[in-house]
C-alpha cells in the first residue's frame, strides 16, 4: 500500500475527550471512515473545570473500548491500519501521555509508523475531510478553551506560521469564567451562547488589544482577561445596587465583544496577507455569534469561509487522523518511538 493509498488511525487525548478515528487515503484524497469519541466532561462538571488526573483515568478506561468501537463501525481490522497518528501536544501532560502510550504500543505491535502531530493544527486539518482540498494558501483561526491562535498556512503538514495568539485567557476559557460568574453550569460556553440568542447587545464591553497603541505590537494577538474583568465589575456594581442582573443581555453583549475582536483581527490579517480563504476551527467555533459575524464579514470582504460542522469543532480523533493523513501523503518521516509529549508544543511544529 502506497502513501497515496493508506489507512491512518488517529488518536486524540489532549484533554477530556478520548477520540479514535480512521481516515482512508485513496489516490491521494482523505476520506473519513469513522470518528468515535468518549467524553469525560460530565465527570469534571462538579469541579467547574478539567481535573487532569480524572481525565487521565478516563482516557485509560475508554481507550480500548473506543478503539474497538471505531474498528467495528468502520468494518476494518487493526492489521489493516498502515500508519498511526497521535496528539503529541499541546494539551495536558497526563492525558497526552495516555494517548501517546497507546499509539506507541500499537505502532510496535503492528510494526507501523508512528506520527506525533500538533493538536491545534489538527483543528484546522479536519476541515479537509468536510470541504475538500485546501487552497495553496489560507488563514486559519483556531479558537477553543485553551487556544486562540491566528495561523497563516502554506501547507497544513509542513508550513504553518503563527501570526497571533492569546496573551492571557483564550476565548473559550473566558466564556467558562464568565459563565461561572453568571451562575451557569460548566462548561459555560454553550449556556452563554443559548442565553445570548435570547438577549440584546445593549452593554458596550471593551475590545481588548484593538486600540491604536496596541496595533503595532499586537495587531493579531488577542486578550480577553480585561473583558472578563469588565463583565465581573459590571455585574458586581448592579448586585451592590440591589438591581436584577439581565443575564441574557450580559451574555449577548459579552459574546458580541468576543466575536467582534476575533473576526475583526482575522479579516484584517486576511487582507494584509492577500488571503481569500479562512478556516475557523476549535471548540469555540461552535459559537453561533462567531459563526454569524464571521460569515457576514467574510462575505463583505470577498473571503471564502470554511467552518467544519459542530461535531468536528470539539476535540476528536478525526482531526488527528486528518493531519496524520496529510503527513503520510507528503511522505514525511515517522516520529521516534520514544517521542515525548509536549504540553506547550509550539504551533510552528506540525509534527514530532
Same fold yes or no, 5-126+316-329 and 138-310: yes
Residue 1, pLDDT score: 42
Percent of the chain with pLDDT over 90: 88
> How confident is the model over 248-276, as pLDDT tens digits?
999 999 999 999 999 999 999 999 999 99
pLDDT digits (tens, 9 = 90+) for 293-321: 999 999 999 999 999 999 999 999 999 99
pLDDT at 147: 84
Average pLDDT over residues 346-351: 92
CATH of domain 5-126+316-329: 3.30.420.40
What is the structure's pLDDT at 109?
A: 98
Residue 342 confidence (pLDDT): 97
Q: Are 236 and 248 in contact (CB under 8 A)?
A: no
Look at residue 329 and tell me whether its pLDDT is greater than 50: yes
Tell me what pLDDT residue 212 has: 86
Report pLDDT for 296.
98
Q: Which residues of 317-341 are buried (b: 16+ CB within 10 A; e: fewer)?
A: bbbbbbbbbbbbbeebebbeeebeb
CB 90 within 8 A of CB 99: no
| Residue % of the chain over a pLDDT of 70 | 99
Q: What is the mean pLDDT of the chain?
A: 95
- Does residue 80 register a pLDDT over 70? yes
CATH of domain 138-310: 3.30.420.40
pLDDT digits (tens, 9 = 90+) for 114-165: 999 999 999 999 999 999 999 999 999 999 878 899 999 999 999 999 999 9
Question: In this predicted model, what pLDDT tens digit does every residue of 174-197 receive, in sequence order?
Answer: 999 999 999 999 889 999 999 999
Whole-number pLDDT of residue 3: 54
Give me the residue spans of the domains in the chain. Answer: 5-126+316-329, 138-310
Q: Which residues pair with 308 in a beta bridge?
A: none
pLDDT grade for 210, boundaries at 50, 70 and 90 = very high
For residue 154, the cross-strand partners are none
Report CA-CA distances (Å) from 143 to 108, 111, 170, 219: 34, 36, 7, 17
The stretches of 75-187 forming alpha helices (DSSP H) are 93-110, 119-125, 127-131, 171-181
pLDDT for position 28: 87
Question: What does pTM read for this prediction?
Answer: 0.94
Amino acid at each position: 500500500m502506497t502513501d497515496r493509498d493508506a489507512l491512518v488511525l488517529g488518536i486524540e487525548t489532549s484533554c477530556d475527550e478520548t477520540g479514535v478515528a480512521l481516515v482512508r487515503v485513496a489516490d491521494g484524497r482523505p476520506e473519513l471512515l469513522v470518528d468515535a469519541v468518549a467524553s469525560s466532561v460530565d465527570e469534571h462538571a462538579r469541579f467547574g473545570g478539567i481535573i487532569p488526573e480524572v481525565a487521565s483515568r478516563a482516557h485509560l478506561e475508554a481507550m480500548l473500548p473506543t478503539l474497538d468501537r471505531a474498528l467495528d463501525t468502520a468494518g476494518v481490522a487493526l492489521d489493516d491500519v498502515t500508519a498511526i497518528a497521535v496528539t503529541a501536544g499541546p494539551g495536558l501532560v497526563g492525558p497526552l501521555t495516555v494517548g501517546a502510550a497507546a499509539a506507541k504500543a500499537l505502532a510496535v505491535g503492528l510494526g507501523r509508523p508512528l506520527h506525533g502531530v500538533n493538536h491545534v493544527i489538527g483543528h484546522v486539518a479536519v476541515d479537509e475531510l468536510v470541504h475538500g482540498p485546501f487552497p495553496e494558501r489560507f488563514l486559519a483561526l483556531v479558537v477553543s478553551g485553551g487556544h486562540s491562535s491566528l495561523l497563516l498556512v502554506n501547507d497544513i503538514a509542513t508550513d504553518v506560521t503563527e501570526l497571533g495568539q492569546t496573551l492571557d485567557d483564550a476565548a473559550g476559557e473566558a466564556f467558562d469564567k464568565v459563565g461561572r460568574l453568571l451562575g451557569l453550569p460548566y462548561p459555560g460556553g454553550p449556556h452563554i451562547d443559548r442565553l445570548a440568542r435570547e438577549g440584546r447587545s445593549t452593554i458596550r464591553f471593551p475590545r481588548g488589544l484593538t486600540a491604536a497603541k496596541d496595533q503595532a505590537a499586537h495587531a493579531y494577538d488577542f486578550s480577553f482577561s480585561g473583558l472578563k474583568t469588565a463583565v465581573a465589575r459590571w455585574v458586581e456594581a448592579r448586585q451592590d445596587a440591589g438591581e436584577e442582573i439581565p443575564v441574557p443581555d450580559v451574555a449577548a453583549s459579552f459574546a458580541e465583544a468576543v466575536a467582534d475582536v476575533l473576526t475583526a483581527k482575522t479579516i484584517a490579517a486576511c487582507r494584509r496577507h492577500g488571503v481569500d480563504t479562512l478556516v475557523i476551527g476549535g471548540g469555540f467555533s461552535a459559537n453561533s455569534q462567531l459563526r454569524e459575524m464571521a460569515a457576514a464579514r467574510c462575505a463583505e470582504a470577498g473571503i471564502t469561509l470554511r467552518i467544519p460542522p459542530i461535531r468536528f469543532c470539539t476535540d476528536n480523533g478525526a482531526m488527528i487522523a486528518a493531519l496524520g493523513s496529510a503527513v503520510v501523503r507528503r511522505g514525511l518521516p515517522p516520529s521516534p518511538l520514544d517521542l515525548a509529549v509536549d504540553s506547550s508544543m509550539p504551533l510552528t511544529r506540525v509534527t514530532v
